[in-house]
A and B are shown apart, each in its own frame.
Chain A
Amino acid sequence: AQSVTQLGSHVSVSEGALVLLRCNYSSSVPPYLFWYVQYPNQGLQLLLKYTTGATLVKGINGFEAEFKKSETSFHLTKPSAHMSDAAEYFCAVSDRTYNTDKLIFGTGTRLQVFP
């Protein structure tokens, strides 16, 4: 069965610094991978997704992620953090078996941005 591991439940960076949020996955089939962001008291919003093709995926708000099959990783990065990036971030993998289709989530990483 597919699974996702997010290393680091909390990450703190200074405004303007590089953001790196780690995600490793386990999948028995070619994975579809997703990053979501959740702002306080809100639902989840899609940041970006990898399905097939180019392994570097660009998303909203300046975020990007690189699919590395050899490392089973899909880490999320942003070159320069902004205060508005403070939120919780979730990595997810698509688990498809027979005719069912569901997302398996990691435990999340809370990003703090200091001025």
Chain B
Amino acid sequence: DVKVTQSSRYLVKRTGEKVFLECVQDMDHENMFWYRQDPGLGLRLIYFSYDVKMKEKGDIPEGYSVSREKKERFSLILESASTNQTSMYLCASSSYPRNEAFFGQGTRLTVV
């Protein structure tokens, strides 16, 4: 069974903390994505990666960075967490070209 695993289902962090969200896929997919989901706004792309060490900004990259040192792992980093980054974060992966994305269970992050 294909799998995308996010390290935490729920996280509570303080304002100003550096936050790491980890995602691992076991399907040898080239593409990996981080989306943010907010009510009424759907899924918005933060960053994506199409190869190891390669990354591209999505629609809302401000306040975030990413790391992809190995093909199976894609990390999202909140450099200095703020309350407006409280959200559901979804990781996904897909194979090239233009195939469907497989999603993790999501991480609900609360910044207080």
Contacts and interface: CB of A to CB of B under 8 A. Distances in A.
A49 B33 CA distance: 19
A17 interface: no
B100 interface: yes
Interface in B77-112: 90, 92, 94, 96-98, 100-106, 108
A68 interface: no
Contacts of B102: 46
Looking at chain A's contact residues, the main secondary structure is strand
B98 A42 contact: no
B9 to A, nearest CB: 8
Bin chain A's interface residue count: 20 to 34
B50 interface: yes
B44 to A, nearest CB: 8
A90 interface: yes
Interface string A20-56: 0000000000001010100001111110010100000
A101 B50 contact: yes
Interface stretch (B11-19, B35-43, B62-70): B35-43
Contact of B97 (A90, A101, A105, A107): A101
B106 A45 contact: no
B26 interface: no
B74 interface: no
A102 B43 contact: no
Given A43-B106, A45-B103, A102 B42 contact: no
Contacts of B97: 96, 101
B42 A103 contact: no
A84 interface: no
User: Chain B CB within 10 Å — which of A46, A100, A102, A108 has the most?
Assistant: A102
A107 B41 contact: yes
B103 A43 contact: yes
Interface string A87-115: 00010001010011111111110000000
Interface of A: 6, 9, 32, 34, 36, 41-46, 49, 51, 90, 94, 96, 99-108
